Amino acid sequence: MMNYISKFFNLSFMGLLQYFLLTGLYYGICYFLFKKALYNAKIQQKEMKRQDIIREILHSTGSSCIMVLMIFMVVESPLRNYTKIYENINDYSLYWLAGSIIIGLCIHDTYFYWMHRLLHHKKIFRYVHLIHHKSTNPSPFAAYSFHLLEAAAEGLIVPILLFLIPLHHISIVIFILSSLFINGYGHLGYEIAPKWLRNSFLFKIFNTSVHHNLHHHKFKGNYGLYFRFWDQVMKTEHPDYLKTYDSIQKKRFGEVGE
């Protein structure tokens, strides 16, 4: 029993370390080191309040532990025998190692979109998702700022993937880090995308910091996590997205539209 507790605390510590290192790096770069240089890249021109930062960190700390618990209950229980985790990296090709991460992100984006839509249902929103939406002007620390029930739903994606596709430990770690990296960017509060992105085919595929910031600001639309696909298919992309994105990038670079 003590061995399980020790493993859980070690995994929780690693999860929290990843969260604080990455979100802290985002925050330090944008809100301190290059704050003046990035002034025009700020999406909402209002200062973060200290109590908001504290709230985001406290909720994210609890959520991180819950999400670790969701994985722990699968990999450290008899359920592991029903997963597709593999130990020997040579069991699958290196192409699959990389491909499994990309496939995992695509599955996650679909899962997240529909879960997110559900959380916005009027009978659920104020009891669960409202905690995340208290960050109307989010900072990177809001990446995991969830109600515990939402944290459990968010954390369920890794167990789902473990039952669906073969994943090596390396793939799992890279998937989690990639998700946190993109999530941190989505809650950054600054648009740091390069000028060339706007006229690239990639802009039609990937979300930006403006995309998710607009969701926090307006509360509706832009439900996707990584990609614009489901928002475009379901016609839930916020009508002000392109206008807001172009306005920010115009302040940074001049004319950037199509």
Task: Give 214-247 as a DSSP string.
Answer: HHHHHSSS---SSBSHHHHHTT-S-TTHHHHHHH
Predicted local confidence at residue 191, as pLDDT: 97
The C-alpha atoms of residue 156 and residue 163 are separated, in whole angstroms, by 11
Q: What letter would DSSP give residue 189?
A: S
Q: Provide the 10 A C-beta neighbour count for residue 238.
A: 19
Q: Which of 28, 39, 56 is nearest to 191 (CA)?
A: 39
Number of helices (H) and strands (E), helices first, in the chain? Answer: 10, 2
For residue 85, give the H/E element and its range: strand 85-86
Alpha helices in 29-136 (DSSP H): 50-75, 94-119, 130-133
Q: Length of the chain in residues, anyone?
A: 258
- Side-chain-side CA neighbours of 100 within 13 Å: the count stands at 27
**What is the DSSP code string of 149-162?**
HHHHHHHTHHHHHH
pLDDT per residue of the chain (258 residues) written in tens, 0 to 9:
777 788 888 999 999 999 999 999 999 999 999 999 999 999 998 888 899 999 999 999 999 999 999 999 999 999 999 999 999 999 999 999 999 999 999 999 999 999 999 999 999 999 999 999 999 999 999 999 999 999 999 999 999 999 999 999 999 999 999 999 999 999 999 999 999 999 999 999 999 999 999 999 999 999 999 999 999 999 999 999 999 999 999 999 986 655
List b or e across 139-156, with b for residues whose CB sees 16 or more CB atoms inside 10 angstroms: bbbbbbbbbeebbebbbb
The C-alpha atoms of residue 6 and residue 1 are separated, in whole angstroms, by 9
